[in-house]
Amino acid sequence: MVRFADVMVLSAPVMTVLVIVGGGTALFACGIMITQSCVKTSLAYSSVAHMGFMLFQCGLGVFPLAIMHLVAHSFYKAHAFLASGSAVEIARASAGLSRGAASGPGRVFLSLGVALGVYGLVGMAIGSALNASAAILVLGAIFVLGLTHLFVHALGTHTTATTLGRTLLWGAGASLSFFLLEYLAEIVLAPAMPVWVVPGVQGGIVPGLALAAFTAATAFQILAPGQMHRPIWKAAYVHIKNGFYVNTWINRLILKESV
């Protein structure tokens, strides 16, 4: 996609399709990932989600960040696979321990405020412009949603000052990495990439809808565990865990075409 960026930026509908397909793939795979009990399957769907998000970034016209995401994801996923064995051992050791109270709306909004504060303070501290393009603002907002998910677990009932402080430091470090990697991508890769002039209406509506979708997905990830006692959530969990049976449909289609 990046190699053909000079051609794709000539067509606004093509860029919109990239946003829809890439963002939809990321949300779809992420929802399935969090329901998997097999660590290998979970990591596989994580890769699918990241690949979809890279296409999403291409659709927003931030091709340098898509390449930077590809490189960063390589390091992240290598660490995830190498550390998966330890993660399974920790999960088994803590299987009988209490997970704490379910996350309520108040705790979620508090975590969102903390995430916005950390992200904004780090951005101002390094002199980064928070009034950047719509695409950068959308990616920054999605990053803040990720920080919110992190802080929700840190602001639990039994949180200690040490745990909260360590989480704040991790959040600040992640925010700093976000800004520095964005800056590095612009310096190294932007000169070789085309600049997409976003049409006025599309520049506001498409990123706004994408952000709304990612916000809804984050809220689902945070609030759904506390609703698993409800029959409708139990039924939905089964369908989500099986990927809405997309694999089965595709396998049948492939077998039918091969015959």
Q: What is the DSSP string of 161-221?
A: HHHHHHHHHHHHHHHHHHHHHHHHHHHHHGGGSPPP---HHHHHHHHHHHHHHHHHHHHHH
In this predicted structure, what is the pLDDT of residue 132? 67
**DSSP per-residue codes, 129-146:** -SS--HHHHHHHHHHHHH
- pLDDT over 80 at 34, yes or no: yes
What does the block give as tokens for 244?
A: 């809405």
Contact 67, 192 (CB under 8 A): no
CA distance 124 to 107: 26
| Of the candidate ranges 5-9, 112-116, 134-138, 167-171, the one whose mean pLDDT is the lowest | 134-138
Backbone angles phi, psi at 197, to 5 degrees: -85, 105
Q: Which residues does 233 contact at the CB level (< 8 Å), separation at least 6?
A: 224, 227
- The predicted model scores a pTM of 0.86
Query: What whole-number distance in Å separates Cα of residue 46 and Cα of residue 98?
Result: 26
The pLDDT-based confidence of 246 (bands split at 50, 70, 90) is: confident
Closest C-alpha to 69, from 52, 81, 82? 52
pLDDT at 130: 55
- 154-170 confidence digits (pLDDT tens): 887 677 888 888 999 99
158, 100 Cβ separation under 8 angstroms: yes
CA separation, residue 56 to residues 16, 28, 145, 177, 194 (Å)? 9, 13, 16, 20, 16
Distance of CA 99 to the CA centre of its chain: 23
Cβ atoms < 10 Å from Cβ of 209: 13
53-99 pLDDT tens trace = 999 999 988 999 999 999 999 998 999 989 888 888 887 776 655 45
Would you state the pLDDT for residue 233? 82
Closest listed residue to residue 244, CA positions, set 31, 38, 17, 88: 31
Q: What is the pLDDT of residues 189-245, one digit of tens each?
A: 988 888 887 666 566 677 788 889 999 888 888 877 777 778 888 888 888 888 888
